C-alpha cells in the first residue's frame, strides 16, 4: 500500500485545474456508465504508464480532493516516454488494463508524451 504525503502549499491555478479536471472526469464516467465505469490514474505521470503503477480513483479517494488543488491524487512527473521499451511497456499496460481511452492532463511535457503515444 502506498501512502501519499500532502504538503500545505497554496495551490496554483494550474494545479487546481488538474484536480478539477480529474474529478470532473470521475463524475462523468460514473454518471454515464451508471456507476460501472472506472477512472484509473497512473502514479507519477508518464513513469506510471510505462511501469504500470496504476491506482483506481474511487469515490472515497476522489472525495478527499474535492475543492482542493494540487497533483496529490496521483502525483506528477517529468519523465519522457522515448525508448522503444518504454513505448512497448506503456502499450502492454494499457492493453492489460483494457483501457478504452487515455487522457493525458498537464503542460508541455504532458502534451509531448501524449503526441508520441498517439503516433
- Give residue-wise pLDDT tens across range 21-35: 788 888 999 999 998
For the chain, list the domains and their CATH numbers.
13-118 (3.40.50.450)
pLDDT band at 8 (very low <50, low <70, confident <90, very high): very low
* pTM for this entry: 0.75
**What is the spatial distance between Cα 36 and Cα 19, in angstroms, rounded to a whole number?**
22
pLDDT at 13: 45
> For residue 62, what pLDDT is reported?
87
Q: What is the pLDDT of residues 52-104, one digit of tens each?
A: 999 998 999 888 888 776 567 788 888 899 899 999 999 999 999 999 888 88
Amino acid at each position: 500500500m502506498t501512502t501519499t504525503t500532502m504538503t500545505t502549499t497554496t495551490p496554483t491555478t494550474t494545479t487546481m485545474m488538474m484536480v478539477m479536471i480529474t474529478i470532473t472526469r470521475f463524475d462523468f464516467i460514473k454518471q454515464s456508465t451508471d456507476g460501472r465505469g472506472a477512472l484509473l490514474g497512473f502514479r507519477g505521470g508518464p513513469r506510471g504508464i510505462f511501469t504500470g503503477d496504476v491506482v483506481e480513483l474511487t469515490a472515497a479517494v476522489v472525495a478527499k480532493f474535492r475543492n482542493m488543488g494540487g497533483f496529490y491524487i496521483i502525483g506528477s512527473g517529468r519523465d519522457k516516454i522515448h525508448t522503444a521499451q518504454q513505448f512497448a511497456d506503456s502499450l502492454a499496460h494499457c492493453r492489460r488494463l483494457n483501457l478504452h481511452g487515455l487522457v493525458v492532463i498537464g503542460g508541455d511535457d504532458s502534451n509531448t508524451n501524449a503526441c508520441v503515444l498517439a503516433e
